[in-house]
Amino acid sequence: MRGRGRGPLLVSEEPLSFYGGVDPLTGKIVERGHELYGRSVAGAILVFPYGKGSTVGSYTLLRLARRGKAPAGIVNLASEPIVVVGCMLGGIPLMDSPDPNPIALKRELEGREAELVVEGGTGLLKVVADVRGEEGGP
């Protein structure tokens, strides 16, 4: 989806199920055993391979967006209908097929402040600052 968003990068190597896997009221990841269990997607630039699980997950993204708890942007390696429809309904910028693959750079990117700009069918993901401490706070 078109649009721009800014927030800390939250990177998952595993697919994510929004229905049942993310609390629609708070944005917390509640799928047991998931590598991001307990983390919140709210305000983050969320990077994961692709969505999985029930198609009701699209409504979870819509609900998060209306509560101000949605990701500021989503980056998928390969989009599938659940996340595409959810981002449309929630007005969340969505980029797919990023090159280079940000998931392979998880350790370097995790937690960094990034900006996602999607327009005219292309997306740009840009690290804008390091908020992990070395260069001070925002």
Least distance CB 15 / other proteins (angstroms): 14
| Residue (5 or 90) nearer to other proteins, CB | 90
CB atoms closer than 10 angstroms to residue 12 = 18
If the CB atoms of residues 88 and 117 are measured against other proteins, the closer one turns out to be 88
Tokens 């101000």, located at residue? 68
Q: Does 77 bind other proteins (CB under 8 A)?
A: no
By CB under 8 A, tell whether 51 contacts other proteins.
no
| Least CB distance to other proteins at residue 78 (A) | 8
Q: Alpha-carbon distance 137 to 132, whole Å?
A: 8
CA–CA gap between residue 122 and residue 16 (Å, rounded) = 23
| 118 contacts other proteins (rule: CB under 8 A) | no
Residue with smaller CB distance to other proteins, 48 or 59 = 59
Q: CA-CA distance, 120 to 111, in Å (whole number)?
A: 28
Alpha carbon distances (Å) from 43 to 28, 46, 99, 120: 11, 9, 23, 23
95 is written with which tokens? 């980029």
Which positions are annotated as active-site residues? 54
Residues that bind other proteins (CB under 8 A): 1, 19, 24, 54-56, 58-59, 62-63, 65-67, 79-82, 84-86, 88-89, 96
